[in-house]
Structure 1
């Protein structure tokens, strides 16, 4: 068994029976109670003994786990209130957990609508008073965006169709709500033998959910499932893809969302093949000038300029989580082997600034807070 076989991806099988449970048991262990406040710079999720947990990372990347869940947590969304955050379980998960990122304690949890599962992503809006969650109908894969009132225990006050099937990520950008409808999810039973993902980008009205525009890929890229999103302060948005096909064709796995169209990023064929059909996380840096994409299957993190020009890549075994730092041209990357790496670029090359090992088994995502 190779090294990659023992990483985060194998955790899915290890905890598969727990993740399939219809309801979550989330423990807020008294041992996690703090007599001081945590200095949270980034948030993440990880596999821990007994399940999964949100993770608080300090500025020097020291990791503190919060509680323990039986379902695999995916994205963590910090609230603008400066203290709390929500960790959302990924498909087929049925829980989202509210926790105090400074005290390191679990506060509450909530579930998707009847007959639905969470896709792993959600976003605070309206200064933290509302929370948007992406949900998938079990029966047919149809996507639903729910708008929840935080002070009412995350009760649903409205819900809209996501304008596609298999939605995965969603974020507000450019005055719209951008949803990545992934279609058929790669590496699932449904994907066996499939060649067309049926994915697309929908831009919804953030107040009513009405569809403003949709965008799909060209026919030669129809096997790509559009999954993860990142955006800058100016609304510039990038979507990352995963390929249903492993046929050796070098298809671009990053695309800029431009109105009703998608613009592919550039890279040498060997760079796209090096990602092994899979981008698990994508991030813009603090300046919005650079884009990073992580591939745990390709064991690397690759960087581009905003205009889509390829810069280069660095090896990171089972690396997937990505987040900006507070400095231009820098990113935090996390791995399923418990490593955190600070990566930097000047636009011409890519280098490692610092490494730290000995952390938990980080999952797909990381996010900068504040």
Structure 2
């Protein structure tokens, strides 16, 4: 049924008889997520508010995260690091609209963000010969032609987000140097220096580092509050238990870290796979597929307030009244700020790392 609808709309568009398509024409998905079918096929899926898939579009290889165009039903699916491709998909027709290829000597890190008007796409990239992060700039109005690139403010830029109400960007520089010839081997653990880098019009306007004794805490994933506060999740590369895996920051202010209690720190196994912040900005949710756990933190009190075991949980995003999560076992589930709600749904997809809000 969904395929026939997409074909019908595509036919109208070809004749010029239909208005410009919207996300409603793609089944009104609320979220996007990459996943894998049981036969090993990799797909990008739309997911509606009832946690039902609205479309499944094939990818050439395993996906990581995606970026949803702010106005038209178009998604950019990024390859898992160190992938060199990103696929632009028309989510109404199901057709590939464009293919982004990383320049020679680069690979993508699996994340991207659009400008507020959807005219530009920003991608995090590794200049692996120089050992430096770059931000690729692509013109989404001209078939995603690469038009510029900027310094990313550090090594290993992973996630990138746009601050609401502005064109400023924040980049999670994990601080870990890698090279495709070494696979996913981490080459500089002893000297790594993660940071948050804020960019505006290609210029770095602020960088924020962690305390020196936490320099092995790789900043990986971001979530943005409406007041421009940035929540971030980390992955500990040091020995022993991680001192903290969740924090938040706002331009011009100091970093606040969420000190987990001893059990929480152990349960996360030093690894945050994805992070989200509630609509009111009061609660941060962090997932750990290694620890099979999702935890929530009170922003003002800087303390953990909830913990729930979910096998291979990773994707998380804010929804009214709480969060939605996905797992590698095929589970989709709504959670409250302090966690448990009703039972979730399970299907034949192994969801990948991230759940993206449209």
Alpha-carbon deviations, 1:194-219, whole Å to 9, x = none? 344321111112x2x11111111112
Task: Show CA shifts across 1:327-365 (max 9, x none).
Answer: 13x1110000111111012xxx32123311124110110
State whether residues 50 and 70 of structure 1, in contact with CA within 8 Å, keep that contact through their aligned partners in structure 2.
no
Conserved 8 A contact 1:185-1:225: no
Q: Which residue of 1 aligns with 2:198?
A: 203
Q: Would the aligned equivalents of 2:326 and 2:333 in 1 still touch at CA under 8 Å? A: yes
* SS of equivalent residue, structure 1 residue 354: coil
Q: Distance in 1 between matches of 2:177 and 2:292?
A: 21
Equivalent residue number for residue 320 of structure 1: 314
* Alignment-derived partner of residue 184 in structure 1: 176
CA contact (8 A) 1:321 1:334 kept: yes
What RMSD in Å do the two structures reach over aligned CA positions?
2.4
Question: SS in structure 1 opposite 2:154?
Answer: strand
| SS in structure 2 of the partner of residue 270 of structure 1 | helix
Q: Give 1:350's aligned residue.
A: 339
- The residue correspondences of 1:36-51 to structure 2 (distance < 5 A) are 37-48=26-37, 49-51=39-41
Give TM-score scaled by structure 2 length. 0.86
Q: Secondary structure at the match of 2:137?
A: strand
Q: Contact 1:191–1:244 at 8 Å: present in 2 too?
A: no
Q: Is the 8 A contact 2:87 2:96 kept in 1?
A: yes
1:253 is matched with which residue: 218, 225, 245? 245
Q: Secondary structure of 2:175's partner?
A: coil
Change (3 A) 1:193 1:165: closer
Distance 1:122 1:321 in 2: 16
| Residue 341 (str. 1) matches residue 333 (str. 2) | yes
Equivalent residue runs for 1:56-95 within 5 Å: 56-64=46-54, 66-95=56-85
Q: 1:314 to 1:62 in 2, by over 3 A?
A: same
Q: Aligned partners of 2:184, 2:335: CA distance in 1, in Å?
A: 35
Equivalence for 2:214: 221
Structure 1 stretch 51-60 or stretch 64-73: which is displaced more?
Answer: 64-73
1:264 maps to 2:257: yes
Q: How far apart, CA to CA, are the structure 2 residues paired with 1:321 and 1:76?
A: 12
Runs (5+) with no aligned partner, structure 1: 1-29
Distance 1:193 1:200, change over 3 A: closer
Q: Mind listing any 5+ residue stretches in structure 2 that lack a counterpart?
A: 9-24
Change (3 A) 1:259 1:126: closer
Counterpart check, 1:170 vs 2:165: no
Q: Which residue of 2 aligns with 1:53?
A: 43
Cα distance in 1, alignment partners of residues 84 and 63 from structure 2: 10
Query: For structure 1, which segment, 183-192 or 195-204, has the greater mean C-alpha deviation from structure 2 after superposition?
Result: 183-192
**Equivalent position of 1:152 in the other structure:** 142
- 1:275-354 matches, cutoff 5 A: 275-307=268-300, 308-325=302-319, 327-328=320-321, 330-345=322-337, 349-354=338-343
Q: In the superposition, relative to structure 1, how do residues 196 and 269 fare at CA in structure 2: closer, same or farther (>3 Å)?
A: farther
**Are 1:135 and 2:125 an aligned pair?**
yes
SS at match of 2:153: strand
C-alpha displacement at 1:272, in angstroms? 1.6
Q: 1: CA distance between counterparts of 2:306 and 2:26?
A: 39
Alignment partner of 1:114: what SS?
coil
Moved more, 176-185 or 111-120: 176-185
> CA-to-partner distance for each residue in 1:253-307, whole Å, 9 max, x for gaps?
0111233542101321221221001001001122222111000001010011222
Identify if the C-alpha distance between structure 1 residues 273 and 182 changes in structure 2 by more than 3 Å, giving closer, same or farther.
same
Distance 2:103 2:188 in 1: 31
* Contact 2:33 2:355 (8 Å CA) reproduced: yes
CA–CA distance in 2 between the matches of 1:52 and 1:139?
Answer: 30
